[in-house]
Amino acid sequence: MTTEQQPPQDMHLTRSSRDTDAMAATLAPWLAERLPSGADVEVALSGASDANGMSSETILADVTWTEDGERSTRGYVIRMAPAAKDVPVFQTYRLDHQYEAIRLVGELSDVPVPTPRWLEPTGDVLGQPFFFMERIDGLVPPDVMPYTFGDNWFFDASDADKRRLQDSTVRQIAALHSIPRAAEVFGFLDIDTYAGDTPLRRLFDKLATWYRWAAAELAPSPLIDEALAWLEANWPEFDGPGSTADNVLSWGDARIGNALYVDFEPVAILDWEMAGIGPRELDLGWIVFAHKVFQSITDVFEMPGLPDVLRAEDVSATYTAATGVEVHDLRWFEIYSAVIWGVVFMRTGARQVHFGELDGLPEDVDSLFHHAPLMRKLLAEVSA
């Protein structure tokens, strides 16, 4: 590996300019109103790990209070919508939707999710909506540096343990998709303000709208434009008008970096800000593509990576074994995922400029995409 091919040493992304000391002082009286009288609340905050996630703020909280004469400290995680000044990734953040999705999944299934505790949906307390959920201990395959780079617990595990983690995660996705009457129970996630006669059509319109918003600040992406045109021209046949396709609760950001593990089994499924209603293949295509992104980065640097992890055929086979449902070809959903990743990179690129981590935006927007070579490869394959 040449000097030019060395992987980057620092992939830190600033997410917020928030003052956690001031935030803790504000939260203590707010929590006191929700805890027993005389709780004498103390709040200690710390920033969550930079190893994963690029959108919502995630803050660790230790909350101490007195109840029934005993003083104790409990650990929580605060999820907070980012401030507009910090260049948010998404156009809107419905923290109330995330909270309700997590609550319902916990009530209606055995899928492991954190217990949500307190929701502040108005933004009146801290300037942005937020909610508390109970903290769960576990390990997560890191995003920074990507777990495919090596020197982490997942990369160093045996092949059998890697496959155990993969299969157990896919089975949790299958369990999530098995929640009955999902389109009705989680109907608040199927936003009818977007155009389309199926949930997937509405998600596609939401994605195109989000992309146009991101492009208005930077510039259009030729790669995303090509991918959106291909997706429209090759719309899945099973999702036509009057379709009887099975629409389920979609995790939305289904990848192993968004779960906590103990002994290679998921103990918490995290990050629900992209949850929605749609075909099963949304989550399956996403988990396959997300791994391909990290694997493709190692390929650029001529590193071995993990080429045998989360292959589409293996993910589909495990899912079918768990549900009895045959999975459609995932390639359309991988390219759909690639567009979402591209818009995320457009927004995080703009954020890096805002925080001084980039000198300026490049003339070629596509150069912001870590997955651009992979995206071009996939489009070439389906267009051949």
CB 210 within 8 A of CB 347: no
Give CA–CA dist 68/240, Å, rounded.
59
The partner residues of 247 in beta bridges, in order of sequence, read: 279
- Report the C-alpha dihedral over residues 120, 348, 225, 242, rounded to 10 degrees: -20
Estimate to the nearest angstrom the gap between the alpha carbon of 243 and the chain centroid: 28
How many Å from the N-terminal Cα to the C-terminal Cα in the chain? 32
C-alpha triplet 50, 378, 364: angle, nearest 5°: 65
Respond yes or no: is residue 40 known to be catalytic. no
Q: Greatest CA span in the chain, whole angstroms?
A: 71
For residue 86, give every residue at least 6 positions away whose Cβ sits within 8 Å of its Cβ, in sequence order, or none.
15, 16, 17, 351, 354
Q: How far apart are CA 71 and CA 352, in angstroms?
A: 42
Cβ–Cβ under 8 Å, residues 364 and 322: no
Measured distance CA(339)–CA(285) in Å, rounded: 12
Amino acid at 162: K
Cis peptide before 23 (omega within 30 of 0): no
| Distance separating alpha carbons of residues 215 and 228, to the nearest angstrom | 14
Report yes or no: 179 and 105 within 8 Å, Cβ to Cβ.
yes
From 190, 239, 253, 283, active-site residue: 253
Nearest-angstrom CA–CA distance, 243 and 105: 26
What is the distance between the alpha carbons of residues 253 and 310, in angstroms, rounded to a whole number?
A: 15
Q: What is the dihedral of CA 76, 81, 84, 86, to 10 degrees?
A: 50
CA angle, corner 86, sides to 84 and 89, nearest 5?
A: 80
Do the Cβ atoms of 375 and 367 come closer than 8 Å? no
Point out the residues that are catalytic. 253
